[in-house]
Amino acid sequence: MTKPLGIAADHAGLDLKRALVTELEKRGIAVRDFGTTTSDSCDYPDFAHAVGRAIETDEIERAILVCGTGVGMSISANRHAAVRAVVCSEPLSARMARQHNDANALCIGARVVGTGTAIDIVDAFLGATFEGGRHATRVAKINLA
Ligand code: RB5
C-alpha cells in the first residue's frame, strides 16, 4: 500500500481507534486519522463521508472505520460508489472481503469485539490480496449504472 491507511471513529469507537493506530504504527503502516479526536458525542456519517470522499479522490486506498457496531459507518461509507465497506467481527470475513470482494473499508464495532480480536481482524484485512478473475467480474457488477 503506497498511500496512508485512513482511519476514523465516532465517540463510541475512539478508544479502539487509538489502540489500532498504536498497533498500525508498530507495524510501520502510515495512518491518516480523520477523527474524531475527543470523547464528545458526534455523528458517525460525518467521519464515514470524509473517508469516503478521500477514497473517491484517491487520497487513500483503504480505511478502517470504528463506531459502536460498525454498522452505521458501513452504511454511510457505502453511499460512495468507490467504497466497498464491510463490517467484520472475525478475521475470516475480513480476509475474504479483501480476496473476493476487493473491500476497501473495514468497519469494526468497538462494542462488539475486544481490542485483541479487532487487531486480528485488521491484520487479516491488510494481509490479504484481491484475487481478481471471476471475483473482478462480480465486483464490477456491484455498482448500479
Ligand atoms: C453511537 O451511540 C452508535 O449509535 C454508533 O457508534 C454506531 O454504533 C452506529 O451504528
pLDDT for 70-93, tens place per residue?
999 999 999 999 999 999 999 999
Q: Which residues contact 45 (CB under 8 A, 6 or more apart)?
A: 72, 76
Residue 145 Cα to ligand 1 midpoint, Å, equals 31
Task: Return d(Cα 53, Cα 125) in angstroms, integer.
Answer: 21
What is the percentage of the chain residues whose pLDDT exceeds 70? 100
Find out whether the beta carbon of 44 lies less than 6 Å from any atom of ligand 1.
yes
Find the catalytic residue in 42, 49, 67, 107.
67
Is 100 noted as a catalytic residue in this protein? yes
| Residue with grid cell 478475521, as numbered in its chain | 91
For residue 21, name the pLDDT band (cuts at 50, 70, 90). Answer: very high
Q: What is the pTM of this model?
A: 0.98
Q: Which residues contact 71 (CB under 8 A, 6 or more apart)?
A: 87, 107, 109
Residue 72 Cα to ligand 1 midpoint, Å, equals 6
- At residue 86, the pLDDT reads 99
Amino acid in the structure at residue 43: D
For residue 2, name the pLDDT band (cuts at 50, 70, 90). Answer: confident
Find out whether the beta carbon of 14 lies less than 6 Å from any atom of ligand 1.
no
Report whether pLDDT(66) > 90: yes
Peptide bond into 36 cis (omega under 30): yes
| Residue with grid cell 475474504, as numbered in its chain | 96
Q: State how far the alpha carbon of 89 is from the alpha carbons of 1, 60, 125, 138, in Å.
A: 23, 23, 12, 24
Residue 140 Cα to ligand 1 midpoint, Å, equals 30
Average pLDDT over residues 50-59: 98
Region of residue 57 (left: phi > 0; alpha: psi -120 to 50; beta: else): alpha
Among 54, 69, 74, 77, CA closest to 16: 69
Which atom of ligand 1 is nearest to 67's Cα? 6
For residue 7, name the pLDDT band (cuts at 50, 70, 90). Answer: very high
